[in-house]
Copies of this chain bind each other. A is one copy, B any other.
C-alpha cells in the first residue's frame, strides 16, 4: 500500500508538506505542491480516510440509525429512497456514511452513542425511533448531533434537528378534498398508535372534519399498524355492515388493503367507496384504480437531513426544523359527488 511516506520520499520532501498539500494549506510552495500532486497521481495515491480521521480528530462521518425498518418496509421502498437521499447528501459533503439498523428482535442492541463513538461518527440521522427510546435520550444527553426523520421534539434541543413534511396539514388537505367532493361519511384507517406521524396525520383529519362541521367518531377509526393485510381485514369486517363513502388511509399500503377488501366484497372503487392514501409509494400508481394520495419526496428528505446534520455538527445551523413540501396527487380512487361529469369535461 502506497502511503504518504512514499510520495514524500519520491518528491524529496517531508510527509508534513505532503499532508499540507493535500489539505490545501496556503503555506506550500506552488512549485512543490504541483510536484507533490503529480507524483501522487503517478503513484495512484490518495490519503487514507481512516488514518486521517484518527489523526485530525475531526470525525467526517455521519450515520443513519434506523429502527424497526424490518416490519413494513419489505413492501415499501420509501426507506430506500430516504437512504439514498442521505447517501447523496453525505457524498455532496464528502462525508463518510455508515448505517446502523436496529430492531426489536435483536436482543442485545448496542447503544447508539457507543456505535458512534467506536466509529468516530459525528452525528446521526434517526429514522423510526421513538422519542422515549433510552438510547435516543442518551444521544441527546451526550450532545451527539441528531436529525430526526418525521419526528419533531416537543422541546427543541440545540443538537437535535428534524426533517419532515407538515403531516397534519397534509391530511387536513386530503380530508378536505374528500369533503369538498361531497363525502360526509368518512372512515379512517390509521397506522400505529404510538407513531408520531400517525398522531399528526390523525389530528389533521380531525381538523378538516371539525372545520367542515363534521364529527370525528371513534367508531370509524381503525388501527392497522401501517400494514396492508391488517387494513384489509379491518376494512372487510367493517364494510360488511357499514357503507362509508370514503376511507382516509394514513398510508398507501393500507389504502391498497382497503381497496382490496372493498373489491372482494363486490364494491367498486371509487364508485361505491372512495379511498385516499398517504406517501405516494410506488404502489399507489400501480393499483386498480390508482390511489389519490399525498406525495412526499423521501429522497430529498434524506438529502436535506444529511445537510442539516452537517450544519448542526459544525454549529452553523440557524433553523433546526425543516419542513419539506408535499403535494396532493389526484388520481382515480375518489368519487366526486358534486359534479360527477366534471372530470370528463376537464380532460
Q: A residues touching B (Cβ–Cβ < 8 Å)?
A: 1, 44, 46-51, 53-54, 69, 73-77, 79-81, 83-84, 87-88, 96-99, 101, 114, 117-120, 228, 256, 282-283, 286-288
**CB-based contact B101/A84 at 8 Å:** yes
A81 neighbours in B (Cβ, 8 Å): 74
**CB-based contact B120/A50 at 8 Å:** yes
Q: Which of the listed residues A80, A96, A114 has the most CB atoms from chain B within 10 Å of its own CB?
A: A80
**CB-based contact A117/B48 at 8 Å:** yes
A50 neighbours in B (Cβ, 8 Å): 50, 53-54, 118-120
14 extra interface residue pairs, beta carbon distance < 8 Å, beyond A46-B118, A74-B77, A286-B286? A48-B119, A48-B120, A50-B118, A50-B119, A73-B77, A76-B77, A77-B80, A79-B80, A80-B83, A98-B98, A282-B283, A283-B286, A287-B287, A288-B288
**CB-based contact A74/B118 at 8 Å:** no
Assembly CA distance A309 to B312 (angstroms): 37
With A98-B97, A101-B84, A101-B87 already in contact, the answer to whether A256 and B77 are too (CB < 8 A) is no
**CB-based contact B48/A118 at 8 Å:** yes
**CB-based contact B99/A87 at 8 Å:** yes
A51 neighbours in B (Cβ, 8 Å): 54
Assembly CA distance A79 to B80 (angstroms): 9
Nearest first, the 5 closest Cβ-Cβ pairs linking A and B are A80-B80, A77-B77, A49-B118, A288-B288, A75-B282
With A47-B118, A80-B77 already in contact, the answer to whether A286 and B97 are too (CB < 8 A) is no
Assembly CA distance A49 to B119 (angstroms): 6
A300 → chain B, closest Cβ, in Å?
Answer: 13
A284 → chain B, closest Cβ, in Å?
Answer: 11
In chain B, what residue has the closest Cβ to A98? B98
In chain B, what residue has the closest Cβ to A115? B46
* A/B interface sample: 6 pairs, CB < 8 A: A48-B117, A50-B120, A51-B54, A75-B282, A96-B98, A282-B283
A283 neighbours in B (Cβ, 8 Å): 282-283, 286
